[in-house]
Protein backbone atom coordinates (compact mmCIF):
# COMPACT_ATOMS: atom_id res chain seq x y z
CA UNK A 1 0.00 0.00 0.00
CA UNK A 2 1.19 3.52 -0.74
CA UNK A 3 0.45 6.48 -3.02
CA UNK A 4 -0.76 6.19 -6.62
CA UNK A 5 -1.73 8.94 -9.05
CA UNK A 6 -4.51 8.97 -11.65
CA UNK A 7 -3.87 11.57 -14.36
CA UNK A 8 -5.74 12.54 -17.51
CA UNK A 9 -7.44 15.43 -19.28
CA UNK A 10 -11.07 16.30 -18.45
CA UNK A 11 -13.60 13.72 -19.60
CA UNK A 12 -11.06 10.92 -20.02
CA UNK A 13 -12.47 8.67 -17.27
CA UNK A 14 -10.34 9.51 -14.21
CA UNK A 15 -13.24 9.36 -11.73
CA UNK A 16 -14.61 6.32 -13.56
CA UNK A 17 -11.35 4.41 -13.15
CA UNK A 18 -10.81 5.60 -9.57
CA UNK A 19 -14.21 4.16 -8.59
CA UNK A 20 -13.42 0.87 -10.31
CA UNK A 21 -9.94 0.38 -8.85
CA UNK A 22 -10.93 1.73 -5.44
CA UNK A 23 -13.88 -0.62 -4.92
CA UNK A 24 -11.99 -3.55 -6.44
CA UNK A 25 -9.15 -3.13 -3.92
CA UNK A 26 -11.58 -2.44 -1.06
CA UNK A 27 -13.32 -5.75 -1.75
CA UNK A 28 -10.06 -7.65 -2.23
CA UNK A 29 -8.41 -6.40 0.97
CA UNK A 30 -11.62 -5.70 2.95
CA UNK A 31 -10.96 -2.01 3.51
CA UNK A 32 -13.13 1.05 4.05
CA UNK A 33 -13.42 3.76 1.37
CA UNK A 34 -12.81 7.47 2.01
CA UNK A 35 -13.42 10.03 -0.76
CA UNK A 36 -13.76 13.79 -1.07
CA UNK A 37 -16.65 13.40 -3.53
CA UNK A 38 -19.94 11.79 -2.43
CA UNK A 39 -21.21 8.56 -3.90
CA UNK A 40 -24.93 7.90 -4.30
CA UNK A 41 -25.71 5.34 -1.54
CA UNK A 42 -28.47 3.26 -3.19
CA UNK A 43 -26.68 3.19 -6.56
CA UNK A 44 -23.58 2.06 -4.70
CA UNK A 45 -25.49 -0.86 -3.16
CA UNK A 46 -26.71 -1.89 -6.61
CA UNK A 47 -23.18 -1.65 -8.04
CA UNK A 48 -21.74 -3.89 -5.31
CA UNK A 49 -24.49 -6.43 -5.92
CA UNK A 50 -24.00 -6.45 -9.71
CA UNK A 51 -20.21 -6.72 -9.38
CA UNK A 52 -20.45 -9.56 -6.89
CA UNK A 53 -18.60 -7.62 -4.17
CA UNK A 54 -19.89 -9.69 -1.27
CA UNK A 55 -17.87 -8.12 1.56
CA UNK A 56 -18.71 -4.56 0.49
CA UNK A 57 -22.37 -5.46 0.00
CA UNK A 58 -22.70 -7.10 3.40
CA UNK A 59 -20.89 -4.30 5.25
CA UNK A 60 -22.16 -1.24 3.36
CA UNK A 61 -24.92 -0.48 5.85
CA UNK A 62 -22.44 -0.73 8.74
CA UNK A 63 -20.65 2.47 7.70
CA UNK A 64 -17.56 1.60 5.62
CA UNK A 65 -18.00 4.35 2.98
CA UNK A 66 -16.93 7.80 4.22
CA UNK A 67 -17.17 11.28 2.72
CA UNK A 68 -14.50 13.84 3.71
CA UNK A 69 -14.94 17.51 2.82
CA UNK A 70 -11.46 18.83 1.97
CA UNK A 71 -12.58 22.33 0.96
CA UNK A 72 -12.22 25.52 2.98
CA UNK A 73 -9.59 25.68 5.70
CA UNK A 74 -6.18 24.03 5.11
CA UNK A 75 -6.70 21.74 8.12
CA UNK A 76 -9.70 20.19 6.34
CA UNK A 77 -7.21 18.39 4.10
CA UNK A 78 -6.36 16.19 7.08
CA UNK A 79 -9.94 14.84 7.23
CA UNK A 80 -9.37 12.47 4.35
CA UNK A 81 -6.67 10.61 6.34
CA UNK A 82 -8.73 10.01 9.50
CA UNK A 83 -9.83 6.44 8.72
CA UNK A 84 -7.06 3.82 9.06
CA UNK A 85 -7.07 0.65 6.97
CA UNK A 86 -8.81 2.35 4.05
CA UNK A 87 -8.70 3.17 0.34
CA UNK A 88 -8.54 6.97 -0.11
CA UNK A 89 -9.84 8.62 -3.31
CA UNK A 90 -8.73 12.26 -3.41
CA UNK A 91 -10.25 13.96 -6.47
CA UNK A 92 -9.19 17.35 -7.89
CA UNK A 93 -6.12 17.33 -5.66
CA UNK A 94 -4.69 20.13 -7.78
CA UNK A 95 -7.21 22.57 -6.32
CA UNK A 96 -6.80 21.29 -2.72
CA UNK A 97 -3.01 21.01 -2.74
CA UNK A 98 -1.63 22.91 -5.75
CA UNK A 99 1.98 22.86 -6.86
CA UNK A 100 4.16 25.09 -4.69
CA UNK A 101 7.56 24.18 -6.06
CA UNK A 102 9.16 23.48 -2.69
CA UNK A 103 8.61 20.83 -0.04
CA UNK A 104 9.07 23.40 2.75
CA UNK A 105 5.78 25.14 1.91
CA UNK A 106 3.68 21.99 2.39
CA UNK A 107 1.85 21.95 5.79
CA UNK A 108 3.82 19.77 8.25
CA UNK A 109 0.78 17.91 9.59
CA UNK A 110 -0.24 17.03 6.06
CA UNK A 111 3.28 15.80 5.31
CA UNK A 112 3.06 13.50 8.34
CA UNK A 113 -0.18 12.02 7.00
CA UNK A 114 1.29 11.56 3.52
CA UNK A 115 4.45 9.92 4.83
CA UNK A 116 2.52 7.55 7.12
CA UNK A 117 -0.18 6.19 4.81
CA UNK A 118 1.66 2.88 4.82
CA UNK A 119 1.79 2.81 8.63
CA UNK A 120 -1.98 3.37 8.75
CA UNK A 121 -2.59 0.59 6.17
CA UNK A 122 -4.00 3.18 3.77
CA UNK A 123 -3.82 3.25 -0.03
CA UNK A 124 -4.01 6.81 -1.39
CA UNK A 125 -5.15 7.61 -4.94
CA UNK A 126 -4.64 11.24 -5.96
CA UNK A 127 -6.60 12.36 -9.03
CA UNK A 128 -5.58 15.33 -11.17
CA UNK A 129 -5.38 16.43 -14.78
CA UNK A 130 -1.57 16.63 -14.69
CA UNK A 131 1.26 15.91 -12.29
CA UNK A 132 2.34 19.56 -12.63
CA UNK A 133 -0.85 20.63 -10.85
CA UNK A 134 -0.11 18.90 -7.56
CA UNK A 135 2.18 19.66 -4.65
CA UNK A 136 5.86 18.81 -5.12
CA UNK A 137 6.07 16.77 -1.91
CA UNK A 138 3.04 14.67 -2.82
CA UNK A 139 4.26 14.20 -6.40
CA UNK A 140 7.54 12.69 -5.15
CA UNK A 141 5.68 10.11 -3.05
CA UNK A 142 3.82 8.62 -6.03
CA UNK A 143 4.85 4.99 -6.61
CA UNK A 144 2.75 4.23 -9.69
CA UNK A 145 0.84 6.31 -12.23
CA UNK A 146 -2.42 5.48 -13.99
CA UNK A 147 -2.90 7.61 -17.11
CA UNK A 148 -6.44 7.82 -18.52
CA UNK A 149 -7.20 8.64 -22.14
CA UNK A 150 -9.75 7.71 -24.76
CA UNK A 151 -12.00 8.67 -27.65
CA UNK A 152 -15.05 10.85 -27.10
CA UNK A 153 -18.11 11.96 -29.04
CA UNK A 154 -20.76 14.61 -28.51
CA UNK A 155 -23.92 13.46 -26.75
CA UNK A 156 -27.10 15.53 -27.38
CA UNK A 157 -28.64 13.95 -24.27
CA UNK A 158 -25.81 15.06 -21.99
CA UNK A 159 -25.16 18.25 -23.97
CA UNK A 160 -21.51 17.43 -23.50
CA UNK A 161 -18.87 15.03 -24.77
CA UNK A 162 -19.09 11.44 -23.58
CA UNK A 163 -16.34 8.84 -23.33
CA UNK A 164 -16.80 5.99 -25.84
CA UNK A 165 -13.48 4.12 -25.85
CA UNK A 166 -11.09 4.10 -22.89
CA UNK A 167 -7.35 3.64 -22.44
CA UNK A 168 -5.82 3.33 -18.96
CA UNK A 169 -2.06 2.75 -18.73
CA UNK A 170 -0.20 1.92 -15.54
CA UNK A 171 3.38 3.22 -15.40
CA UNK A 172 6.13 3.38 -12.84
CA UNK A 173 7.23 7.03 -12.31
CA UNK A 174 10.33 6.78 -14.54
CA UNK A 175 8.42 5.20 -17.44
CA UNK A 176 5.74 7.85 -17.12
CA UNK A 177 8.32 10.58 -17.66
CA UNK A 178 9.42 8.80 -20.85
CA UNK A 179 5.77 8.67 -21.94
CA UNK A 180 5.27 12.40 -21.30
CA UNK A 181 8.47 13.51 -22.99
CA UNK A 182 8.14 11.49 -26.21
CA UNK A 183 5.18 12.45 -28.47
CA UNK A 184 5.87 9.49 -30.76
CA UNK A 185 5.21 7.07 -27.90
CA UNK A 186 2.05 8.87 -26.79
CA UNK A 187 0.60 8.68 -30.31
CA UNK A 188 1.39 4.98 -30.74
CA UNK A 189 -0.88 2.66 -28.68
CA UNK A 190 1.45 -0.31 -29.25
CA UNK A 191 4.48 1.53 -27.85
CA UNK A 192 2.35 2.72 -24.91
CA UNK A 193 1.40 -0.86 -24.07
CA UNK A 194 5.03 -1.97 -24.22
CA UNK A 195 6.16 0.88 -21.98
CA UNK A 196 3.31 0.45 -19.47
CA UNK A 197 3.15 -2.26 -16.80
CA UNK A 198 -0.51 -2.90 -17.57
CA UNK A 199 -3.21 -1.56 -19.86
CA UNK A 200 -7.01 -1.48 -19.65
CA UNK A 201 -8.64 -0.60 -22.95
CA UNK A 202 -11.86 -1.11 -24.86
CA UNK A 203 -15.35 0.19 -25.46
CA UNK A 204 -17.22 1.10 -22.30
CA UNK A 205 -18.83 -1.95 -20.72
CA UNK A 206 -22.03 -2.19 -18.69
CA UNK A 207 -19.81 -1.95 -15.61
CA UNK A 208 -18.47 1.39 -16.86
CA UNK A 209 -21.91 2.60 -17.86
CA UNK A 210 -23.38 1.89 -14.43
CA UNK A 211 -20.41 3.56 -12.72
CA UNK A 212 -21.64 6.93 -13.98
CA UNK A 213 -24.71 6.51 -11.73
CA UNK A 214 -22.46 6.36 -8.66
CA UNK A 215 -21.52 10.06 -8.62
CA UNK A 216 -22.32 13.37 -10.32
CA UNK A 217 -19.72 13.39 -13.07
CA UNK A 218 -20.83 16.77 -14.52
CA UNK A 219 -21.21 18.60 -11.20
CA UNK A 220 -18.51 20.56 -9.38
CA UNK A 221 -17.30 19.07 -6.08
CA UNK A 222 -18.57 22.14 -4.22
CA UNK A 223 -22.09 21.62 -5.62
CA UNK A 224 -22.46 17.85 -5.20
CA UNK A 225 -25.25 16.83 -2.83
CA UNK A 226 -25.33 14.26 -0.01
CA UNK A 227 -29.12 14.01 -0.18
CA UNK A 228 -30.51 10.46 -0.38
CA UNK A 229 -33.56 8.36 0.53
CA UNK A 230 -33.37 7.85 4.30
CA UNK A 231 -35.70 4.86 4.11
CA UNK A 232 -32.78 2.94 2.63
CA UNK A 233 -29.15 4.08 2.66
CA UNK A 234 -28.06 7.62 3.47
CA UNK A 235 -25.12 9.75 4.66
CA UNK A 236 -25.09 10.22 8.42
CA UNK A 237 -22.97 12.52 10.58
CA UNK A 238 -20.72 11.08 13.28
CA UNK A 239 -20.71 12.94 16.58
CA UNK A 240 -17.31 14.51 17.23
CA UNK A 241 -16.00 13.30 13.86
CA UNK A 242 -15.73 15.56 10.77
CA UNK A 243 -16.58 12.77 8.29
CA UNK A 244 -19.94 11.47 7.13
CA UNK A 245 -20.62 7.81 6.40
CA UNK A 246 -23.24 5.72 4.61
CA UNK A 247 -25.59 3.82 6.93
CA UNK A 248 -29.13 2.45 6.73
CA UNK A 249 -30.72 -0.56 5.04
CA UNK A 250 -29.22 -2.16 1.94
CA UNK A 251 -32.01 -2.86 -0.60
CA UNK A 252 -29.76 -4.93 -2.89
CA UNK A 253 -28.31 -8.21 -1.70
CA UNK A 254 -26.15 -10.68 -3.62
CA UNK A 255 -28.32 -13.54 -4.91
CA UNK A 256 -27.64 -17.12 -6.01
CA UNK A 257 -27.31 -16.28 -9.73
CA UNK A 258 -25.16 -13.21 -9.15
CA UNK A 259 -22.12 -14.62 -10.98
CA UNK A 260 -23.95 -14.49 -14.30
CA UNK A 261 -24.75 -10.80 -13.80
CA UNK A 262 -21.13 -10.05 -12.84
CA UNK A 263 -19.74 -11.71 -15.97
CA UNK A 264 -22.21 -9.86 -18.21
CA UNK A 265 -21.46 -6.55 -16.44
CA UNK A 266 -17.79 -6.82 -17.33
CA UNK A 267 -18.14 -8.01 -20.92
CA UNK A 268 -21.34 -6.62 -22.41
CA UNK A 269 -21.04 -3.14 -24.01
CA UNK A 270 -22.75 -0.27 -22.17
CA UNK A 271 -25.80 0.02 -24.51
CA UNK A 272 -27.02 -3.30 -23.06
CA UNK A 273 -27.06 -1.97 -19.48
CA UNK A 274 -30.83 -1.48 -19.20
CA UNK A 275 -31.50 -5.03 -20.48
CA UNK A 276 -28.90 -6.43 -18.10
CA UNK A 277 -30.55 -4.73 -15.11
CA UNK A 278 -33.91 -6.27 -16.06
CA UNK A 279 -32.28 -9.69 -16.48
CA UNK A 280 -30.61 -9.43 -13.07
CA UNK A 281 -33.97 -8.71 -11.42
CA UNK A 282 -35.39 -11.86 -12.99
CA UNK A 283 -32.36 -13.91 -11.93
CA UNK A 284 -32.70 -12.67 -8.34
CA UNK A 285 -36.22 -14.16 -8.16
CA UNK A 286 -35.22 -17.65 -9.33
CA UNK A 287 -35.83 -20.33 -6.70
CA UNK A 288 -33.24 -23.05 -5.86
CA UNK A 289 -34.94 -25.69 -8.08
CA UNK A 290 -34.97 -23.39 -11.11
CA UNK A 291 -31.34 -22.50 -10.45
CA UNK A 292 -30.30 -26.18 -10.51
CA UNK A 293 -32.21 -26.73 -13.75
CA UNK A 294 -30.36 -23.79 -15.35
CA UNK A 295 -26.98 -24.94 -13.99
CA UNK A 296 -27.35 -28.47 -15.40
CA UNK A 297 -29.39 -27.53 -18.46
CA UNK A 298 -27.08 -24.94 -20.00
CA UNK A 299 -24.05 -27.29 -20.35
CA UNK A 300 -26.27 -29.93 -21.96
CA UNK A 301 -27.65 -27.40 -24.46
CA UNK A 302 -24.14 -26.18 -25.28
CA UNK A 303 -22.95 -29.76 -25.84
CA UNK A 304 -25.91 -30.43 -28.12
CA UNK A 305 -25.13 -27.34 -30.17
CA UNK A 306 -21.44 -28.30 -30.35
CA UNK A 307 -22.36 -31.84 -31.45
CA UNK A 308 -24.63 -30.51 -34.17
CA UNK A 309 -21.89 -28.24 -35.48
CA UNK A 310 -19.26 -30.98 -35.51
* Alpha-carbon span 305 to 310, nearest angstrom: 9
Global pTM reads: 0.88
Q: Are residues 173 and 127 in the same domain?
A: yes
Going from the C-alpha of 218 to that of each of 161, 212, 223, the distances in angstroms are 11, 10, 10
Domain residue limits at 215: 3-248
> What order of strands is seen across the sheet that includes strand 241-248?
198-203, 160-171, 144-155, 3-7, 123-128, 86-90, 32-35, 65-67, 241-248, 233-238
Q: Are residues 214 and 124 in the same domain?
A: yes
Look at residues 204, 221, 248 and tell me which one is the last residue of a structural domain: 248
Look at residues 248, 267, 285 and tell me which one is the last residue of a structural domain: 248
* Alpha-carbon span 195 to 211, nearest angstrom: 28
User: pLDDT tens digits for the chain (310 residues)?
Assistant: 689 999 999 989 999 999 999 999 999 999 999 999 999 999 999 999 999 999 999 999 999 999 999 887 788 899 999 999 999 999 999 888 888 755 556 778 888 899 889 899 999 999 999 999 998 889 999 999 999 999 989 888 878 888 999 999 999 999 999 999 999 998 888 899 899 999 999 999 999 999 999 998 767 666 666 766 667 888 998 877 889 999 999 999 888 778 888 988 999 999 999 998 998 888 888 776 666 666 666 666 667 766 766 5
Query: How many structural domains comprise the chain?
Result: 2
Amino acid sequence: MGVSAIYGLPGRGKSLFSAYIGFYLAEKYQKAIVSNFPFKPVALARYFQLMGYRWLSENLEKGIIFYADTRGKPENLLNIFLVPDSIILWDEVGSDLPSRGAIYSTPKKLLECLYQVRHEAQYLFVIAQSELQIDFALRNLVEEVFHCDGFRSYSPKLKNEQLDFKFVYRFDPDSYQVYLNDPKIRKNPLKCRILANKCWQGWLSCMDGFSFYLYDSFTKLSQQSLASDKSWLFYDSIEGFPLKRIVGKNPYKIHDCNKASTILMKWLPSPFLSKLLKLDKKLSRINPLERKIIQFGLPIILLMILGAIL
